[in-house]
Amino acid sequence: MWSGPLNKIGEYRYEIPKTYRGINGNLKMRVPALIYASEEMLPAIRKDNAPKQAANVATLPGIVGRSLAMPDIHWGYGFPIGGVAATDAEEGVISPGGVGFDINCGVRLVRTNLKIGDLDRNKIRQLVDELFKNIPSGVGSQAKVRLNRAQLDDVLQMGARWAVENGYGWEEDLEYLEENGCMEIADASYVSEKAKERGKSQVGSLGAGNHFLEIQRVAEIFDENAAKIYGVEKDQIVVMIHTGSRGCGHQICSDYLRVLEQAVRKYNISLPDRQLACAPVKSKEGESYFKAMACAANFAWANRQMIVHWVRQSFENVLGRDAEELGMHIVYDVCHNIAKVEEHVVDGKKMLLYVHRKGATRSFGPGRKEIPKKYQQVGQPVLIPGDMGTESYLLRGTNESEEAFGSTCHGAGRVMSRHQAKRRWNGREIARMLEQRGIYAHPASWSVMAEESPDAYKDVSQVVNVTHGAGLSLKVAKMVPLGVVKG
């Protein structure tokens, strides 16, 4: 339970001041911590004690601006999930805890030219079953494609481009992926054999946990102009994919946590929590982790790209029409567990920074060169997935998000552990409940259905309303699920 300060400094903004010294008086915050939240969210945030982690992050060497936390904040490893921190690109540190284990867990949205009237419930069921058949999902799931070591190294270094060049998708797809689906700094020689072994059979698979593949209906449009530019309209059928770097990314994180725990001692870095293990960005250890992390990010982009290819094939198989004819173009792909070098303004000065986003999504505003030209007049598409059975959102990035280093929330955020959820709910009962609401679910495991019960999460609309009200990202459209493949 958090008993420290949370001072309201503006609408949807609560601050832990830099002067806070912790319970024992030994905490030495270099910057304040800022939490975006509504007043009604505060009791749950205090109970979870994640503000303590936001304050701890504020002690990192080279951190600038503020330690930040989005309204989906909850307890994580080192950093809170929903945490954002930027460190100086010359004198700062990089921390795996600020990225997470599922490196480049992210979301991709594919639009179609289908409307809700084009698909009855039986057809939706057929599509979901075909998606489940074509796209491996669940704990330890193995992909349909088996890569040799040389091919996997190419995936780690080329990302989504490898997939497109090998027939998994269209050339135009790459334009609509964050970083165009590849971090160029990636170097497969910095990835362990164990991580490669775990990854070589998982490229093109959904995984488990909160990952999903959903057929959705656009239920509401909030911003007609932005929606038109993004190619989205009311009652349109879209497909959302939520997955990451699977066992490969998890292993890379685990490997480098051990390396960076030693680096903390080597460079005499004082930390309030050993889970904040880090290294100077210019050190051998810091640079090695960043290159390996980029490999995991590229793995995830290739993974989602191959899934898109099989999504298109599934629609073709069931509907008997080509994906091009169905208008199955990518709206955008965003990642929400990553560190990247970006330019931002801090205290009126442009700085090159290592921006850590753990359970947080990039939200660049109009004019940023990093986003597709087609979208530059309205800002980057932002994708906020709901939990299973609840709505998801398409938003647009804003220039106001610069106060958070161009960041916004990433989802609903858990309020109950997976273990608690499994004790409370039965997976089959959850599936029946969804069916009564017109949502057909095809899970790889009834256990995961229980873990991912909608009631185990915060209300995603409440979270999105805070980010919208705070100006970090603005609502464009709401999508509701019709059918879901659950890992």
Active site residues: 410
Extended strands (E) in 159-294: 212-221, 236-243, 279-280
Q: Are 179 and 339 in contact, with CB atoms under 8 Å apart? A: no
* Chain Cα centroid distance, residue 268: 32
Phi, psi (5° rounding) for residue 120? -85, 175
Please state whether beta strands 93-94 and 279-280 pair in parallel, antiparallel, or not at all (unpaired).
antiparallel
The token pair at 129 is 């079953």
CA dihedral 283, 286, 292, 298 (to 10 degrees): -110
- Give the separation between CA 292 and CA 188, rounded to whole angstroms: 7
Q: How many residues does the chain have?
A: 487
Nearest to 215 by CA among 335, 104, 114: 114
- Give the separation between CA 194 and CA 8, rounded to whole angstroms: 47
Handedness of CA 146, 150, 153, 159 (dihedral sign): negative
Task: Calculate Rg over the CA atoms of the chain.
Answer: 21
Please list, in sequence order, all residues whose beta carbon lies within 8 angstroms of the beta carbon of residue 208, skipping any fewer than 6 positions away: 137, 138, 139, 141, 444, 445, 448, 487
Phi, psi (5° rounding) for residue 357? -125, 110
Please state whether beta strands 440-443 and 63-74 pair in parallel, antiparallel, or not at all (unpaired).
unpaired
Half-sphere exposure of 368 (CA within 13 A, CB side): 25
Neighbours of 408 (CB within 10 A): 33
The token pair at 83 is 């945490």
Neighbours of 72 (CB within 10 A): 30
Nearest to 396 by CA among 258, 260, 224: 224
